[in-house]
């Protein structure tokens, strides 16, 4: 079984600065519900996976109503999961909720954050790979937006993200540095479950990178496929959303 986890629980604080009334970012659209982030993500992957776990929190009732009204799910693949700590814990707990909701016979798991637009050939390369996958994009690395992926001198991947969006510090010598496209594929769900079960309390409340680093940090990049997403947008603001729609959907 192929599984997809999408996390959309956050407060969308930066996105909502541009709006008069707060919204759940993944549901925002300007005229056509199929151009909402969640609609685009699910439609891009629906035929390639067997289950879709969507982890929500902020404005969860809006998420439920939108999925019932706007998302076509003829094969009943979509599971909605509520993250009770969406407001007081980090993004890692949404991933934990998603992992806990996976079917027992899941064989590989694609995880993507719910504020991303991406070109469909790129995401298809992630899904079709037989290996664990890290993704990268071609954007300039900026401390206010980027998740940095770098490779140390022993060929191990590491992630850096500043939750205050102020500055990024790479503490080690490195052989490569990338802007992460924030999409991952795990081919060993049992290992993912073991990592989640063994997390210390502080890590449970931290970012999803706590879990991702524990999974990928023991591997070498020679054991991983790194997929470049050519056309990629992280929609932190309404302007980001509009640029993505213009580029990808028109």
Angle between the 120-128 and 37-45 helix axes, to the nearest 10 degrees? 50
Dist. CA 250–CA 240, nearest whole Å: 14
Dist. CA 74–CA 79, nearest whole Å: 13
Question: pTM for the full model?
Answer: 0.96
DSSP 164-204: TSS-----S-EEEEEEEEEEEEES-HHHHHHHHHT--HHHH
Residue 30 to residues 3, 45, 72, 79, 100: CA-CA distances in angstroms? Answer: 29, 22, 19, 26, 34
CATH number, span 2-249: 3.90.550.10
Q: How far is CA 29 from the centre of its chain?
A: 19
What are the residue ranges spanned by the domains of the chain? 2-249
For the chain (250 residues), the mean pLDDT of every run of 10, in chain order, is 97 92 96 94 97 98 98 97 97 98 97 96 96 97 94 97 91 97 98 98 96 98 96 95 86
pLDDT of residue 67: 98
Dist. CA 182–CA 235, nearest whole Å: 12
Pairing of strands 174-186, 78-82: unpaired
pLDDT of residue 250: 62
Q: How many CB atoms lie within 10 A of CB 93?
A: 26
pLDDT of residue 37: 97
């Amino acid at each position: 079984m192929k599984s997809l986890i999408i996390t959309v629980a956050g407060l969308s604080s930066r996105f909502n600065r541009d709006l008069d009334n707060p919204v759940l970012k993944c549901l925002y659209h300007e005229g056509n519900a199929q151009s909402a982030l969640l609609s685009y993500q699910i439609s891009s992957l629906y035929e390639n996976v067997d289950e879709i776990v969507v982890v929500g929190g902020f404005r969860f009732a809006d998420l439920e109503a939108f999925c019932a009204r706007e998302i076509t799910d003829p094969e009943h693949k979509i599971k909605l999961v509520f993250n009770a700590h969406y407001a007081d814990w980090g993004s890692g707990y949404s991933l934990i909720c998603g992992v806990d909701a996976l079917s027992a016979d899941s064989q590989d798991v694609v995880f993507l954050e719910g504020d991303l637009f991406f070109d469909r050939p790129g995401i298809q390369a992630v899904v079709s790979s037989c290996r664990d996958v890290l993704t990268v994009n071609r954007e300039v690395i900026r401390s206010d937006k980027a998740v940095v992926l770098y490779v140390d001198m022993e060929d191990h991947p590491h992630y850096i993200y500043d939750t205050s969006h102020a500055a990024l510090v790479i503490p080690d010598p490195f052989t490569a540095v990338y802007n992460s496209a924030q999409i991952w594929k795990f081919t060993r769900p049992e290992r993912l479950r073991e990592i989640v079960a063994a997390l210390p309390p502080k890590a449970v409340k931290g970012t999803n990178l706590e879990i991702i680093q524990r999974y990928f940090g023991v591997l070498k990049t020679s054991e991983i496929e790194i997929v470049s997403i050519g056309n990629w947008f992280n929609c932190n603001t309404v302007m980001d959303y509009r640029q993505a729609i213009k580029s990808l959907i028109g």
